[in-house]
Amino acid sequence: MRLSKHDLFQMDDEWLKKLPAELLLEVSKRLLHDVKELQDRLNQNPGNSSRPPSTKAPWEKAPDPAVGNGASTKSGGGEAAAETAEGSAPAQEPTPPVSERPSPRKGSGKPPGKQLGSQGHGRTQKLAVTDHCAHRPDYCAACGATLTEDAESQAYTAWDEIDIAPPVEGHIGLMFSVTRHTLLEVRCACGHVSRAMPWRAPPDAQWEKVELGEWRLVGPRLAGVIVLLALRMRLSRASIRELLREVFELTLSTGVIDETIREAGRASFPLEDALVADIVQAAQLHVDETSWSESGVLLWLWALVSTSTVLYLIGPRTREMLDNALQDGYTGILISDGYVVYRAWKNRLRCWPHLMRKLRGLAESSDGRVSGLGQEMEGLLKTLMAAIYAARIDPPPIALPERYAAEVKRLRHLCEVHQMDEHPALRSVVREFLHDWKVILRPLAEPLLPLSNNAAEQALRHWVISRYISHGTRSEEGSRAFALLASVIETCRRRGASAWQYLGTVIAAARKGLALPALPAIPAAA
Ligand SMILES: [Zn+2]
């Protein structure tokens, strides 16, 4: 929309009559643009757009007696801003009448933690303003004329942004800044008064409850630190609040902290394509998954790990999940455990320590026969493993499959004669070996290939602890934000870059609708 309610309010017959012909054309173009956009919006419904059914217009669904007019179902987004001294960001209508204002408590999208306003506090903390930033409209919203720098202007609203100042070389520690952003209105020669508007991301069905825009209390670099504290340091929202208050004398509500993290997730969303592109190009990819809870529903946290990139995904434990992530286009080597979804990939390796643990289980069986077999198989695999490690340092004159043909043959024989064994654990292990035989023994011929899936297991370990602390995520949007931010943080770490500083630049760009900075470069040594 080109014209805000504030703009339209000033336009009437009298004003139009006074406009010269060429300006009338400009005004008409703007009006036409907005009318067409409104027309398309009127025709939009969940059947012909990405709008989820919950965004149906009030007349499209059964009336809800609890909600006077269904028009104010949108909520949640403005909650952080509602805590700022000046109230929520001006949308198309900067100051809606009180009765029209959507209640921030309505709807199901309550952020976790203490609900906003539960202590009856707004932002009571008085902060000394350190910087000023004035936002002027560049063009007249009505006629399109350029508004010159010296044209008379006046402030119509403002918001404060708390951020961490860029580091000063040679100094340690953090310096906070409080910037007062003043929005100005300017009168054009045509008589129209235009207002500078803070940038705001258009509605996105995937991020219904997460707002993204310029009008924010928490600045981008401080937001980067909050994300780091939450994910990398695994601090709860309440602990982050306590830390900021104790160490920096900065009071933020847990609601603002939670919203900051989810907004950072939405801001990082366009990076997912770049992460996937890097993953798909990797020569070797370690994959593993662990259970994850999303508001009590059992899902899986997947880790796809290359030498310089990590991609986390939260979703079902299905083949489709992996297909979608790898877009069927992955031609490198996949290293995994024996989980069935991985078996579709021919170019694959198995994690030997994983198999070794299973053989150890057999070796420790109280059934003497099974224990003996387990020990023998474990011994054979250990011999092969030692040979592979030795071959990496000192390539042998005879290829390992030839040199260890007798051991391989014996292992194969043990597997074959016991594939119908009455002992379920033994039967299951030997069948697993037979099923994946070529995949398991491939490193014998190519000893430089990895033998373990440690990289993926390691990449999950940190988040397994998070899961115990936080009990998972609470919504689809929360899961998406978590997986994205975890991916960005781990990828930055692998590339030797500062995750919070990079996230700060990402959030700063996303809040203005600009292209995001590229992922940190892959160091030459990696
Ligand atoms: Zn004008």
Write the pLDDT tens digit of every residue in 116-125: 444 444 456 7
Using the mean position of ligand 1's atoms as its centre, give its distance from the Cα of residue 37 in Å: 22
Residue 54: per-residue pLDDT: 44
Using the mean position of ligand 1's atoms as its centre, give its distance from the Cα of residue 182 in Å: 22
Using the mean position of ligand 1's atoms as its centre, give its distance from the Cα of residue 23 in Å: 8
Query: How distant, in Å, are the alpha carbons of 28, 32, 269 from that of 321?
Result: 49, 44, 18
Using the mean position of ligand 1's atoms as its centre, give its distance from the Cα of residue 24 in Å: 10
Using the mean position of ligand 1's atoms as its centre, give its distance from the Cα of residue 193 in Å: 8
Task: Tell me how crowded residue 434 is: count the other CB atoms within 10 A of its CB.
Answer: 14
Using the mean position of ligand 1's atoms as its centre, give its distance from the Cα of residue 34 in Å: 17
Using the mean position of ligand 1's atoms as its centre, give its distance from the Cα of residue 145 in Å: 5
Lowest mean pLDDT across 271-285, 328-342, 501-515:
328-342
Taking the C-alpha atoms of 44, 90, 250 and 128 in order, what is their torsion angle to the nearest 10 degrees? 160
Using the mean position of ligand 1's atoms as its centre, give its distance from the Cα of residue 4 in Å: 14
Residue 26: per-residue pLDDT: 86
Over residues 203-226, the pLDDT tens digits come to 888 898 899 999 999 999 999 999
Backbone angles phi, psi at 315, to 5 degrees: 180, -165
What mean pLDDT is predicted for residues 68-82? 35
- Calculate the average pLDDT of the chain: 83
Using the mean position of ligand 1's atoms as its centre, give its distance from the Cα of residue 156 in Å: 18
CA angle 276, 280, 286 (to 5 degrees): 95
Using the mean position of ligand 1's atoms as its centre, give its distance from the Cα of residue 202 in Å: 26
Distance (Å, rounded) from C-alpha 255 to C-alpha 111? Answer: 6
User: Which residues are near ligand 1, the ion (C-beta closer than 5 Å)?
Assistant: 140, 142-143, 145, 188, 190, 192
The answer to whether the predicted template modeling score (pTM) of the entire model surpasses 0.75 is yes
Residue 15: per-residue pLDDT: 86
Using the mean position of ligand 1's atoms as its centre, give its distance from the Cα of residue 91 in Å: 21
Using the mean position of ligand 1's atoms as its centre, give its distance from the Cα of residue 21 in Å: 13
Using the mean position of ligand 1's atoms as its centre, give its distance from the Cα of residue 151 in Å: 12
Over residues 403-436, the pLDDT tens digits come to 999 999 999 999 999 999 999 999 999 999 999 8
Backbone angles phi, psi at 289, to 5 degrees: -145, 155
Using the mean position of ligand 1's atoms as its centre, give its distance from the Cα of residue 135 in Å: 18
**Residue 182: DSSP 8-state:** E
What's the length of the chain? 526
Where does the pLDDT of residue 375 fall: very low under 50, low under 70, confident under 90, or very high at 90 and above? very high
Using the mean position of ligand 1's atoms as its centre, give its distance from the Cα of residue 184 in Å: 16
Where does the pLDDT of residue 39 fall: very low under 50, low under 70, confident under 90, or very high at 90 and above? confident
Using the mean position of ligand 1's atoms as its centre, give its distance from the Cα of residue 143 in Å: 4
Question: In this model, does residue 95 exceed pLDDT 90?
Answer: no
Using the mean position of ligand 1's atoms as its centre, give its distance from the Cα of residue 142 in Å: 5
More confident residue, 17 or 496: 496
Using the mean position of ligand 1's atoms as its centre, give its distance from the Cα of residue 59 in Å: 38
Question: In this model, does residue 49 exceed pLDDT 80?
Answer: no
| Contact (CB, 8 A) for 205 and 52 | yes
